[in-house]
Structure 1
């Protein structure tokens, strides 16, 4: 999906004759069904345009673009089916990653045996000591590996994308150093 969106954005820019800045490459792998179904957006050209807009909205640190797109799609095509909601959630996660300098998020099945259902590996992540302490207090089974700058987060069943987005917003400061945990301590 990511590569496809990037290729569409680059092709449209090339046809328009505009030079685009190097977009941050963000690898997001989630076990979710996230797409625009043909029965929601029936015309291929409109579906491609929708993916292009989504790709552009998902490579900025501003979540507003994704919300504007959500409203546009609801207005134009009607109520959002589950795969479209999931697609917009993934785009929202991408904006959180861009704002925090995270270039890779991979969610895999957890170890089982009473442990978390899924584990998310996010990198690169730089966690200040205060956030590392917060991580240990709030998220059982979560780990921070300082050497490879990886954050491992446990996820339970449910909306994996929303849970992961909230955890990253809570734990990881933005690239510009702004952003405090919801509890207020930095």
Structure 2
């Protein structure tokens, strides 16, 4: 299943890190196809061994790949930033989970008919803050997914 992740990110393999385009494309494909965090970790190790220390965009790309694995594991196919919210779908949540989400993420809109939730995106400040980006948004969304699917991920 294709997992759509659209967040404000600078996640890529720069030509300054991997010069050969064919090789960059292979790594992108392997990261997109990874089914487990261990597979992503193996690619991470390989990149470190072959190309040295990561630049920020590479680090963020690896976090996106781990988020994609997590999303696939819990059946989420879309994590999309819409203005100042993050939409996650598809979701079928029990009432107890909806109560917990509303408590932990005030302002969340649960849209049962379209099987999605709209969670207010975290910002740099309470008033007039910018929506987080790069590793901050990836870490926040990863924590959100872990929180949403805590019970399923225990198994």
Same fold (TM over 0.5): yes
How many residues were matched structurally?
143
Structure 2: 5+ residue runs without aligned partners?
123-131
Instruction: Name the SS for the 2:113 alignment partner.
Output: coil
Distance 2:121 2:32 in 1: 26
Is residue 84 from structure 1 mapped to residue 58 from structure 2 by the alignment?
yes
How far did residue 92 of structure 1 move? Answer: 1.2
Structural mapping, 1:93-112, within 5 Å: 93-110=67-84
Q: Which residue of 2 aligns with 1:27?
A: 4
The TM-score normalised by the length of structure 1 is 0.71
Is residue 70 from structure 1 mapped to residue 47 from structure 2 by the alignment?
no
Cα deviation code 1:26-53 (max 9, x no counterpart): 2221111111000000112221221121
Q: Which residue of 1 aligns with 2:111?
A: 145
Q: Is the 8 A contact 1:127 1:172 kept in 2?
A: no
Is residue 122 from structure 1 mapped to residue 91 from structure 2 by the alignment?
no
Structure 1: 5+ residue runs without aligned partners?
1-23, 111-118, 181-186
Distance 2:37 2:92 in 1: 22
Structure 1 stretches of 4+ moved >2 Å: 177-180
- Structure exhibiting the larger radius of gyration computed from Cα positions: 1
Instruction: Name the SS for the 1:98 alignment partner.
Output: helix
Structural mapping, 1:46-65, within 5 Å: 46-57=23-34, 60=35, 62-65=36-39
Cα deviation code 1:101-148 (max 9, x no counterpart): 1111111321xxxxxxxx110111111111111101111222221111
Task: State the Cα RMSD in Å.
Answer: 1.6
Distance 1:52 1:179 in 2: 26
The TM-score normalised by the length of structure 2 is 0.84
With CA pairs under 8 Å and 6+ residues apart, which has the higher RCO, 1 or 2?
Answer: 2
